[in-house]
Amino acid sequence: MKQLSLIILLICSLFLSGCVEKEILDDLYVETGKAYDYVGENKIRGTALFPIYLSDKSIQNGTLSAEASSTREVLEKLERRAQQPLVRGSLDVVLIGEKLAKKGIIDIGDSLQRDASVGARLYVTVVEGEAGELIKGNYGLRGNGTYISNLITHNIKRRELPETNLHLFLFNYFQEGQTAYLPILKQLSNESIAITGVALFDKDKMVKKIPSEDMFFFKLLVDKLAEGSHVIKMGKKPGAAEETVEASVTSLISKHKIIIKHKSDPVEVTMRIKVRGIVREYTGKKLTPDKVGEVEKKMEKDIEEKCLTMLKEFQELGIDPVGIGQNQKHGVRGFDIKEWKESIYPRTQFNVDAKVQILEAGTVE
């Protein structure tokens, strides 16, 4: 009897004081997207995006905006306007306005990293224009957050956007001898968004944009395995005046290999790029095996030119999204990052060596 009353006492006390805070699903506003814009000195505007589920299973996009001096204060101000608590566990995308990106975004990165409920797979992107405006649109049928994250996901998987998420961003940011990069979105209308390029960062400030035509080459340089397609301009059609023959090559697998001669002075870097692809479209007459060879050679030339230009630009700006510095560190003992940044990297010589192999050309010749 004594044991039983002790057990009852314990169970009662358990239910009274052992409880933890509940977050019942339908009483929450689950944030799927966040947008930060630069408003003025020490002021940012944060907009939270959350889906409102209607009873006919359709999803309405709800947004709330507030201005404050730090991301945490923005959240507090937003909470004061929200009907239900705002929670960040399902955050899918974080959009950062261009102006704010140029000023520095590591605070946002830190707040996302520190919060235990935020996942590491969310997408951080830069927005051309105002991020808050973009997030207030109405895209797709399943909510803006899902729309944007799906847009980015399939472009990473099959097309020319390099692999990115919060974890990779922070990895690159903290890595010695590497700098970070993020995709750039632009709002085209109230119903559509487009990816317009890749933003390159020096530390946490945006310094350069790579336009969408060059994303393919950038992806070849940074991603381990890359897909994507590229249109090669082949030169004039015989007989025609203005039109050029174009061949569209989709790369199935591309690999890059960075070969560094660590000890030589200046350090020599060779990028060996191997592309295996198929021809998807060809506007010329007949795609004979000779023509295929021509396409291959032209593509190789394109790749080598473009990549070399890009690498030199990075060198001039002092940024290193490809991670040359990190590669150098792998081969040298006692690597000094300061020395690298100041004297060795600006003098590095680059070489790009591309090899393209076209496997198939479709069902017709």
Please compute Rg for the chain using Cα positions: 26
C-alpha separations of 170 from 28, 105, 162, 173, 335 in Å: 29, 11, 15, 5, 21
26 or 316: CB nearest other proteins: 26
- Minimum distance from residue 75 beta carbon to other proteins (Å): 15
- Minimum distance from residue 359 beta carbon to other proteins (Å): 25
Beta-bridge partner residues of 201: 206
228 or 325: CB nearest other proteins: 325
Q: Tally the C-alpha atoms within 13 A of residue 191's C-alpha that lie toward its C-beta.
A: 2
Amino acid at the residue 255? K
231 or 258: CB nearest other proteins: 258
- Minimum distance from residue 19 beta carbon to other proteins (Å): 7
- Minimum distance from residue 263 beta carbon to other proteins (Å): 13
Q: Where do we find the tokens 């805070």?
A: 21
- Minimum distance from residue 177 beta carbon to other proteins (Å): 10
- Give the separation between CA 147 and CA 212, rounded to whole angstroms: 20
28 or 278: CB nearest other proteins: 28
- Minimum distance from residue 24 beta carbon to other proteins (Å): 5
Binding site for other proteins (CB under 8 A): 10, 13-15, 17-26, 28, 30, 51, 53-55, 57, 59, 87, 89-90, 92, 113, 116-117, 119-121, 142, 146, 163, 165, 167-168, 170-176, 178, 327, 329-335
10 or 188: CB nearest other proteins: 10
The H or E element that residue 134 is part of is: helix 131-135
For residue 365, count CB atoms less than 10 angstroms from its CB and return exposed for 0-12, middle for 13-18, buried for 19 or more.
exposed
C-alpha separations of 105 from 14, 70, 204, 316 in Å: 44, 11, 6, 23
Question: Which residues make Cβ contacts (< 8 Å) with residue 364, sequence separation at least 6?
Answer: none
138 or 283: CB nearest other proteins: 138
176 or 246: CB nearest other proteins: 176
For residue 231, count CB atoms less than 10 angstroms from its CB and return exposed for 0-12, middle for 13-18, buried for 19 or more.
middle
Is residue 37 a contact partner of residue 132, using CB atoms and an 8 Å limit? yes
- Minimum distance from residue 215 beta carbon to other proteins (Å): 20
